[in-house]
Chain A
Amino acid sequence: MIMDAADPRPATVAEGTRWARWAQIYGAVVAAGLAFFLWRIPVQVSDSLGNLMAVASVPWGDLLRDQFASTAFFRPLLLAQTKALLDASAGHYFVVFRAFQVVQVFACVWLFVRMLRVRGGAQLAAAMVAVTVLTGSHTFAGTIREAYPINNYMTVVLCCLAAVNVQMGERSRWYSDVLVLAALTLAMGTIETGLLVWGCLFMGYVAAWRGVSRSALVIATMLVVAYFALRFVVLDVGTPNLMERSSGYGFRRLEPSELDARFGAFPYPFYAYNIVASIGTVLFSEPRGGVWILPREWRAGNAEPWMWINVVSSTLVTLLVGWYAASRTWRQRPLNWSHGQRLVWVAAAVIPVNAAISFPYTKGQIMSVGGLFFAAACYAAVAALLDAPPARPLLRLLAALVVAAIGVGWSWRVLGVQHSLLYSAFTQRNEWAHTDLWIRDHPESQRDPQVAALVEALRIQAVSRRVANPHADPSPFEKYFDSETD
């Protein structure tokens, strides 16, 4: 098997474990930095309260049955997770839901670092860079900034990570097959991008990862076929139409009525735009939510530094990964690919498939799985460059500058994510100040005493929290932190 720096090197087990442990410690530190702010964000009103109300006093049987009867979206397990946590919370709503989210973040980073297989110093440095690419991305930020009250895109990210980690094992076992199939079922039942778990498994199998048996892959494929049959034939759920929500197009967001007027008769160019825009948002951090923000603001003379930081840092990673892919030997049996090549292979497949699934509309967090594997591909490229830098001094200097710029740029973006969480805490707490308006628009929330008590308890828990006010204490680095929420 051809080795490169992203491979587990033939070293002592203890030494390899030591480097991996340091990588995990670093990942935990970065996750802790984010968790500090997450813990201070109240349960949000928009989307979240409606979901909580939908599950509060509904029996499990009715809940699952109703989910199978919905139109446009097929997410039968989405509300089930919310109800499970709500029932277990015993009134401690904030603690339970936020604790769940914090655990998700730590688990995500832990599984991501484990997937990288750090075994040496160069790999540790590359893993540290990759962790910043993972957690500094706007696609990741969206999965932790919003929770309904569970962020379903994070659920899919975790299922993909779990599946790939299992599949990277040396050989399959019956319980690892069961785990992977359970992850696939949970992900597909939660949200449409859950299908990516199958995509990861399939591409991983092609790349000669054998931790999941061929039988399990066949069963997984049958589950996906059953999903499509159930959704489009048996239940006839369909897909979201243009009137479901607004979406970015060109230099601004278009409202549903505008989308319908423009593309209602023939929506395929709009769908194609969404797919290309979703790929672009991962590789270049533009467009954002389908809107070309940097070109628009640059034309108006309002381009802020964070826009350039985002685009430059993402483009450098894309170029580096492109260099890595071009410099490897691919025309050989996948069994002979390096670990880094396998990561890049999966990334190259998952990113466009993720984009294709999000054809109805664009949103950063929909591409969270693509962003995850973009970070993994970055690891492979950086590790290879650090382990075997160019021989010529000028190229070696250029390579060092590129990697350093990537590390600095993405590390800054992680601080930007923390900053955005600060705003989320303030904004979402303030949403609870307008609960009277929400109740006016949802009078049904007051008919059930249990639901009314839930709403009031959440309101009190939110309003009584002390949060920082970013408007009263603006950061001197406001213009350098990403403030866009797509």
Chain B
Amino acid sequence: MVAASGPAVLGLVTVAMLLMAAGGRHPMWRVRDFNLSEAAGSRDAATVVSLLSSGEDSTRARLIRPGVLDTRWHRLTPLEAAFESRRVDMIDLLLRHGVTLDEPGRVALTCRARARGDGDIARYLETRGAPVSCGSEPAHQ
């Protein structure tokens, strides 16, 4: 009956998805294993904390696959990935969990944030040290 066509399709789709889930391939529920940098770049705060707790090196740059930040491959540290994803909460999380940010690095990120128009990130980074004046300090790599 036409009236029940929508609900019938929903029922069939639901059954199909649950059968696929039994094989670990639910179409809506795709779990992927991310490294620390990928997790930091994709707002996965819990995975970041879990990996840091297990001893992952927070200073090492890692490959970030396409689709996480944008359509390209990247090799970034977790802090850089959080910065590129424009998530001040992730930057704060990393710093709270022991990731270090030296003064030249803080200044460089603050200036990059200002140049990019990320006012919330710039303001957050400025609270972690002296006021930042951009343009006089050399860029930090």
Contacts and interface: CB of A to CB of B under 8 A. Distances in A.
Nearest to A435: B49
B130 interface: no
Interface string A23-47: 0001001101100110010000000
A433 interface: yes
A473 B30 contact: yes
User: How many B residues touch the partner, as a band?
Assistant: 35 or more
Given A403-B2, A473-B32, 12 more contacts: A26-B7, A128-B8, A132-B7, A382-B3, A422-B29, A429-B46, A430-B44, A434-B45, A436-B96, A466-B31, A468-B32, A475-B28
A32 B4 CA distance: 19
A400 B2 contact: yes
B10 A434 contact: no
B10 A415 contact: yes
A454 interface: no
Contact of A469 (B7, B15, B17, B44): B44
Interface SS of A by simple majority? helix
Interface of B: 1-11, 13-15, 17-18, 21, 26, 28-32, 34, 38, 42-46, 48-50, 67-68, 93, 96
A350 interface: no
A437 B4 CA distance: 49
Interface residues of A, number: 52
B42 A469 contact: yes
A407 B50 contact: no
Contacts, number: 122
Interface string A418-461: 11001000100110111010000000000000000000000000
B51 to A, nearest CB: 10
A131 B4 CA distance: 11
B3 A30 contact: no
B42 A430 contact: no
A40 B31 CA distance: 11
B45 A430 contact: yes
A408 interface: yes
A129 B48 CA distance: 43
A54 interface: no
Given A40-B29, A382-B3, A404-B5, A433 B46 contact: yes
Contact of B4 (A30, A128, A468): A128
Contact of B3 (A29, A33, A386): A386
